[in-house]
Amino acid sequence: MNGNGIERVGRIQLRVYDFEKSVDYYTNILGLDITARDSNRVYLKAWDEWDHHSVILEKSDSAGIDHIAFKVTNNDVLASLERKIEQFGCTVSRVSNRERVGEGEAIRFVLPTGHKFEFYHDIDYVGVPTGRLNPHPWPDGLRGIHPHRLDHALLSGEDIESTRRLFKEALGFVETEQVITVDGENLIATWLTTTMTGHDVAFIKGPDAKLHHVGFYLDNWYEILRASDILSRNEIEIEVTPTRHGVTRGETIYFYDPSGNRNEVYTGGYAVYSDFPTITWTEDKIGQGVFYHRRQLNEAFTSVFS
């Protein structure tokens, strides 16, 4: 669907403390592979991702998100997006080639919600363990939950109205779903995509520049149940046991990394095309929209951000 030249969510950089415990969690329990290290960061990818990394863990004294980035088709698209973002009113800066391991030049700007956001094209290609010639469906030696890929992130901020306008009008994203107040006057949450999935990034009304969760993709409902077993076996805090979303129709489980960053593994959902109409939920039905079976939100889900 990416007629705007924006391919997909490409990476997220998370701040973590208790650094080695966090690295152990992301490699042995979540099941990502380390591709590089530098003095303050570890670079990881899921087994089914072709590029050098999709997750960067940064040593910090607090949890949260440093930035999220989307990959574009070529450097001409990068230059075009730079102009559109500046015309919208955001200041754009350049991230130098090789400032981070495996990455080329990127453009960076700050969303109205306060999040640092990047677009890039150049990144080292490392491939997948199954290869490209007569591949098996999965490789040997997988660890932990082993998701296929980084899937999406939900971020919080006060000015989600302007942020939605930036993504739709300047960047060409499709808004798949929204939550509004019962009177229809205020936006509470928005789900946005540049691919054929239900959301690549979403925003919820809340504290600026915060992370609600980062989501990873699994094959099916059985894999969601298996993830729950792995988390319980390793005594990882599970916030929400396996269930279904009304919003996006996905199946899900939520849990926390050792620093308190909320993770999700996710499957299912619907296909999105450029003419997909926005689905609307009203605030009085938000419990059913988020957790379709229980039809109510737990307190932490609406109050805990990192």
Torsion of CA 300, 54, 152, 301, to 10 degrees: 0
Q: Is 9 helix (H, G, I), strand (E, B) or coil?
A: strand
**Which is the catalytic residue, given 25, 146, 213, 251?**
213
Please identify which of the residues 199, 223, 251, 256 carries the catalytic annotation. Answer: 199
User: What pLDDT digit, counting tens, does each position of 85-125 carry?
Assistant: 999 999 999 999 999 999 999 999 999 999 999 999 999 99
In the chain, the N- to C-terminal Cα span, in Å, equals 31
Stated pTM of the model = 0.96
Examine the pLDDT at 300 and tell me if it is beyond 90: no
52 assigned to active site: no
Q: Which of 120, 254, 256, 266 is catalytic?
A: 254
Q: Where along the chain do the CATH 3.10.180.10 domains lie?
A: 6-120, 149-303
Q: Which of 223, 251, 264, 266 is catalytic?
A: 264
Of 25, 53, 245, 251, the catalytic one is 245
CATH match of 149-303 with 3.40.50.300: no
For domain 6-120, give the CATH number: 3.10.180.10
Task: Evaluate whether 247 touches 230 at the Cβ level (below 8 Å).
Answer: no
Q: Is 125 a known active-site residue?
A: no
The pLDDT assigned to 298 comes to 87
Condensed to tens digits (0 to 9), the pLDDT of residues 12-29 reads 999 999 899 999 999 999
pLDDT score recorded for residue 130: 97
Q: Is 254 a catalytic residue?
A: yes
Taking the C-alpha atoms of residue 208 and residue 113, their distance in angstroms, rounded to an integer, is 5
Cα–Cα dist 171/243, whole Å: 32
Mean pLDDT, the chain, rounded, equals 96
**Using CA atoms, how far apart are residues 191 and 33, in angstroms rounded to an integer?**
29
Cβ(43)–Cβ(36) below 8 Å: yes
Q: One of 152, 177, 217, 223 is an active-site residue; which one? A: 152
